[in-house]
Structure 1
Amino acid sequence: MTDKKSPTLADPLDPEQVANYLQQHPEFFVHHQELLGDLFLPHESGPAVSLVERQVSILRERNIDMRNRLSKLLDNARENDKLFDKTKRLILSLLEGQDLGDIIDALHYSFDKDFNIHFTSLQLYGNADKLPSSQAQVVAIAQAREHIAPLLKSNRAMCGTLGQKELSFLFGKHAEEIGSVATVPLIHGTTFGMLAIANRDPNYYRSSMGTLFLGYIAEVLNRLLPKYLPR
């Protein structure tokens, strides 16, 4: 003789079990009124759909839509909280940098480890012999104008795709791997550099995408980096 298997939370409930439970707990829906909107109770009106039934159906659909919207808002809020925490850590690391190398190392580390950015390029325009050594690529401003003039003319962040010439200039050997980019010039009186990030997915950085984060980081760099550059 085998023992009858005890039901678990994973087992589906038998309709009779549900009916018996509700009979023994008639106040159940008083304490769980949020479930009433999900109940389906057809009105006895023959083959036609009654006005009451139609109204309940519409209210139920609106309720589901509102729940979905609320869920998306909560998801966005959680993502924004995460982005804020990552950005705060990055800003503090930049502020704690003791020299140009520290600041640029902190930027690359955060973009790579915290933000999972596939490729980061930071260019500084000037004479390489007069700039401290760092992960930044140092090029002459004339060379930059020759390769990425349209990007230098803008004073705001931009997203989308670039030609092979621009990609090679900004990302060097990784140019062939890049699908889409976001760029922002670094400006302190005049343009002194370019910050660019890239993703392998051609649709990741789109022209319609918000650039608030990248623009904010650029504003911080605009205030931190110039004091380390030759006057």
Structure 2
Amino acid sequence: MNTHTPGVPPITEDDIANYLIQTPDFFNRHAELLASVQLTSPHGARAVSLQERQAEMLRERIKGLERRIMEMIRHGNENMLLTERLLALARTLLLVRAPADLPERVLEELRERFQVPQVALKVWEVADAHRTEPWAQGASGDVRSLASSLAQPYIGANAGFEAVHWLPEPERAASLVLLPLRDTVETPAFGLLVLASPDPQRFAAGMATDLIERLGEIVSAALSRLR
């Protein structure tokens, strides 16, 4: 039987919802309705009371919060570990007496302390005493321009960058970091550090760059002694 009055808009679910929101004491006056409301459980076809459904929703929300907290703790522990490694790297590089030994020590620390599968480094505009070193040669003008153009590290897939060929096994570089080395953010780069992994997700686009930028600052400060 159609009880709709012609010319009067039908009552919608939104109308009912808005009425209940705007009339918070409705269920105080009609408490018996709460006990009679039956909802479908998300864990089966059985009907549950409104109180049971609210309890289930609360339990799911608590589980979600617990997962988020555990994820935050895990990321916090990982960041703390990386911070400790950065401090250890800085200390190690400060103790290197001969400037010419610094590039190889940087690569060694990244391979062993940070567990980076492949690393490579080039530095240009070095002092005359270092111009014949392998790490002071082989950086083309295009690479130097690319390094200076990077306002922040490149993190992501290997897109065929020329600098990837500095690596021992460039064909195994699925993801990488291109880290420009410079005195300040305003000055041109004087070097480029390449970190690479065969794992496409090891250095994925969208990763936070804070700790990698701190790594670049430490290495830049240490290698400034070569100029």
Structure 1 and Structure 2 fold alike (TM over 0.5): yes
Name the amino acid aligned to 2:172. E
Q: CA deviation at 1:114?
A: 1.6
Q: Take 1:194 and 1:81, find their aligned partners in 2: how far apart are those partners?
A: 26
Distance change (3 Å), C-alpha of 1:61 and 1:192: same
The aligned residue for residue 198 of structure 2 is 200
The aligned residue for residue 176 of structure 2 is 181
The aligned residue for residue 166 of structure 1 is 162
Contact 1:128 1:138 in 2 (8 A): no
Distance change (3 Å), C-alpha of 1:99 and 1:178: same
Name the amino acid aligned to 2:93. L
Distance change (3 Å), C-alpha of 1:96 and 1:147: closer
The aligned residue for residue 107 of structure 2 is 108
Distance change (3 Å), C-alpha of 1:146 and 1:132: closer
The aligned residue for residue 52 of structure 1 is 51
Q: Take 1:139 and 1:202, find their aligned partners in 2: how far apart are those partners?
A: 29
Name the amino acid aligned to 2:225. K
Q: Take 1:216 and 1:69, find their aligned partners in 2: how far apart are those partners?
A: 27
Q: Quick one: which of 203, 215, 218 aligns to 2:216? A: 218
SS at match of 1:191: coil
SS at match of 1:182: strand
Q: CA deviation at 1:182?
A: 0.5
Distance change (3 Å), C-alpha of 1:128 and 1:146: farther
Name the amino acid aligned to 2:150. S
Q: CA-to-partner distance for each residue in 1:200-224, whole Å, 9 max, x for gaps?
A: 1233322211222221122123323
> Number of residue pairs matched?
183
Q: Take 1:71 and 1:144, find their aligned partners in 2: how far apart are those partners?
A: 46
Q: Take 2:141 and 2:151, find their aligned partners in 1: how far apart are those partners?
A: 14
Deviates more, 1:157-166 or 1:212-221: 157-166
Provide the TM-score with structure 1 as the length reference. Answer: 0.68
SS at match of 1:225: helix
The aligned residue for residue 137 of structure 1 is 135
Unaligned runs of 5+ in 2: 1-34, 39-45
Question: What pairs with 1:67-106 in structure 2 (closer than 5 Å)?
Answer: 67-106=66-105
Distance change (3 Å), C-alpha of 1:146 and 1:77: closer
Contact 2:93 2:102 in 1 (8 A): yes
Provide the TM-score with structure 2 as the length reference. Answer: 0.69
Contact 1:180 1:202 in 2 (8 A): yes
Contact 1:186 1:218 in 2 (8 A): yes
Identical aligned pairs, as a percentage?
Answer: 21
Q: Take 1:190 and 1:150, find their aligned partners in 2: how far apart are those partners?
A: 10
Distance change (3 Å), C-alpha of 1:155 and 1:202: same
Which has the bigger relative contact order, CA under 8 A and spacing at least 6? 2
Q: Take 2:132 and 2:91, find their aligned partners in 1: how far apart are those partners?
A: 22
Q: Take 2:163 and 2:225, find their aligned partners in 1: how far apart are those partners?
A: 29
Unaligned runs of 5+ in 1: 1-42
Q: CA deviation at 1:128?
A: 8.9
The aligned residue for residue 13 of structure 1 is none
Name the amino acid aligned to 1:181. L
Deviates more, 1:178-187 or 1:46-55: 46-55
